[in-house]
Chains A and B, each alone.
Chain A
Amino acid sequence: MTDGEPTLAEVCVVACAEAWRGDGAILASPIGVVPTLGARLAQLTFEPELLLTDGEALLMAPADDGKDGTSGSRAGDDRVTEGWLPFRQVFTMVAAGKRHAMIGAAQLDQFGNQNISCIGDWALPKAQLLGVRGSPGNTVNHPVSYWIPRHSRRVLVDRVDMVSGVGYDRAAGLTGQARGFHELRRVVTNLAVLDFGGPDHSMRLKSVHPGVSVSDVADATGFLLAAPYQVPQTRLPTAAELALIRERLDPDARRDAELT
Chain B
Amino acid sequence: MTGPDTDGVGSRVMTLNGVIGELRSGMTIGIGGWASRRKPMALVRALAASELSDLTIVSYGGPDVGLLIAAGKVRRLVTGFVSLDSIPLEPHFRRARQHGAIQLTELDEGMLHWGLLAAAHRLPFLPMRAGLGSDVMRVNPELRTVRSPYADGEQFVAVPALPLDAAFVHMNRADPGGNGQCLGPDPYFDDLFCLAAGRAYLSCEQIVPTRELLAGGPAQSLLINRAMVAGVVETPHGAHFTSCVPDYDRDEAFQARYASSAATPEAWEQFAAEFLAGGEAEYQAAVARTRAAGAPAGLTGGARA
Does A72 touch B at the CB level, under 8 Å? Answer: no
In the bound assembly, the distance between CA atoms of A241 and B202 in angstroms comes to: 49
Cβ B129 vs Cβ A140 within 8 A? yes
Cβ A136 vs Cβ B139 within 8 A? no
Does A211 touch B at the CB level, under 8 Å? Answer: no
- Interfacial residues of chain A within 33-47, with CB under 8 A of chain B in the complex: none
Residues of A within 8 Å of B246, CB to CB, are none
Cβ A178 vs Cβ B135 within 8 A? no
Residues of B within 8 Å of A232, CB to CB, are none
In the complex with contacts A86-B185, A94-B110, A117-B106, A174-B133 CB distance below 8 A = yes
Chain B 122-149 per-residue mask, 1 if CB under 8 angstroms from chain A, else 0: 0000001111111110110000000010
Number of A-B contacts (CB under 8 A): 136
In the bound assembly, the distance between CA atoms of A137 and B189 in angstroms comes to: 18
| Stretch with Cβ within 8 A of A (4 or more), from B74-82, B231-239, B256-264 | B74-82
Cβ B34 vs Cβ A87 within 8 A? yes
A134–chain B nearest beta-carbon distance, Å: 5
Does A223 touch B at the CB level, under 8 Å? Answer: no
B194–chain A nearest beta-carbon distance, Å: 14
Interface residues on B, range: 35 or more
In the complex with contacts A117-B106, A132-B106, A137-B110, A176-B153 CB distance below 8 A = yes
In the bound assembly, the distance between CA atoms of A139 and B155 in angstroms comes to: 16
Among B82, B152, B187, contact of A176 (Cβ-Cβ < 8 Å): B152
Residues of B within 8 Å of A128, CB to CB, are 89, 93-94, 97-98
In the complex with contacts A86-B185, A137-B111, A132-B132 CB distance below 8 A = no
Does B154 touch A at the CB level, under 8 Å? Answer: yes
In the bound assembly, the distance between CA atoms of A175 and B153 in angstroms comes to: 9
Cβ B89 vs Cβ A130 within 8 A? yes
Interface of B is mostly: loop
Does A165 touch B at the CB level, under 8 Å? Answer: yes
Residues of B within 8 Å of A91, CB to CB, are 109-110, 113
Does B88 touch A at the CB level, under 8 Å? Answer: yes
Does B83 touch A at the CB level, under 8 Å? Answer: yes
B189–chain A nearest beta-carbon distance, Å: 7
Cβ B134 vs Cβ A136 within 8 A? yes
Chain A 24-61 per-residue mask, 1 if CB under 8 angstroms from chain B, else 0: 00000000000000000000000000000000111000
In the bound assembly, the distance between CA atoms of A130 and B85 in angstroms comes to: 10
Q: Which of A132, A164, A176 has the most CB of B within 10 A?
A: A132
Residues of A within 8 Å of B132, CB to CB, are 136, 140, 166, 174, 178
| Stretch with Cβ within 8 A of B (4 or more), from A2-10, A63-71, A118-126, A185-193 | A118-126
Cβ A124 vs Cβ B98 within 8 A? yes
Closest to A171 in B: B133
Residues of A within 8 Å of B94, CB to CB, are 127-128
Residues of B within 8 Å of A130, CB to CB, are 81-83, 88-89
In the bound assembly, the distance between CA atoms of A94 and B138 in angstroms comes to: 23
Does B283 touch A at the CB level, under 8 Å? Answer: no
Cβ B80 vs Cβ A131 within 8 A? yes
Q: Which of A123, A137, A140 has the most CB of B within 10 A?
A: A137
In the bound assembly, the distance between CA atoms of A132 and B79 in angstroms comes to: 9
Residues of A within 8 Å of B271, CB to CB, are none
Does B269 touch A at the CB level, under 8 Å? Answer: no
In the bound assembly, the distance between CA atoms of A84 and B187 in angstroms comes to: 11
Residues of A within 8 Å of B83, CB to CB, are 130
Cβ A86 vs Cβ B129 within 8 A? no
- Interfacial residues of chain A within 176-230, with CB under 8 A of chain B in the complex: 176-178, 181-182
Does B186 touch A at the CB level, under 8 Å? Answer: yes
Chain B 156-188 per-residue mask, 1 if CB under 8 angstroms from chain A, else 0: 000000000000000000000000000001111
Which A residues form the contact surface with B (CB < 8 A)?
56-58, 84, 86-88, 91, 94-95, 117-118, 122-137, 139-141, 162-166, 170-171, 173-178, 181-182
23 example contacts (A-B, Cβ-Cβ < 8 A) are as follows A56-B185, A57-B185, A86-B186, A87-B186, A88-B188, A91-B113, A95-B110, A127-B98, A130-B83, A131-B81, A131-B82, A131-B106, A136-B132, A136-B136, A137-B110, A137-B128, A140-B132, A163-B133, A163-B135, A166-B134, A174-B133, A176-B152, A176-B155
Task: A132-B136, A176-B148, A178-B133 given; name 9 further pairs at CB < 8 Å.
Answer: A56-B185, A57-B185, A95-B128, A128-B93, A135-B108, A136-B136, A141-B129, A166-B132, A166-B133
Which B residues form the contact surface with A (CB < 8 A)?
34, 61, 79-83, 88-89, 93-94, 97-98, 100, 106-111, 113, 128-136, 138-139, 148, 152-155, 185-189
